[in-house]
Amino acid sequence: MRVHAFLATPTELPQLLDGGTAPPPGTLLSGVDPVNLASLVEIVTGGGIASDAATPLLEEPVLSAGPRGPSIHALPEEAVEALGNADPAERARWMEEWTGGNGRPNDGPERALEALVELAARRSPDQNLYLWVAGGG
């Protein structure tokens, strides 16, 4: 499964699937999928969105090219806000909790978290943070 994180407005989403299988400009998130990102959503929202509530939100696409095509999933707004406003100490605490203390500098989860933080911090008010998911899992 390939997961790319990207910024877009809701009106841009249909055009992004028209292009076929190439993801929109964004960042590849290695070693993660929408299901394991649900635990990160719970962590960054301080439990405001529980993992069991985030899982269906992240698994359900907001737009899909069909059962074999890529799909687009939205990160919950509360999580995007938290990611965009995080300081380095907070990100380190999140990483510790998300990996159970087994994260290593520059491994998949850390790169994924940093990519999400960077995208969330530079989004404009009309954009959301989305995931482009392609391939089997």
Residue 19 has a pLDDT of: 61
Q: pTM for this one?
A: 0.88
Residue of 70, 114, 68 lying closest to 90 (CA atoms): 114
SS3 content of the chain, % helix, strand, coil (to 5): 45, 15, 35
Where along the chain do its domains lie?
A: 2-134
State the 10-residue block means of pLDDT for the chain, 137 residues long.
91 79 82 84 94 91 85 93 93 87 66 91 94 78
Give the pLDDT of residue 17.
78
Summarised one tens digit per residue, pLDDT across range 96-117 is: 888 877 655 556 778 888 999 9
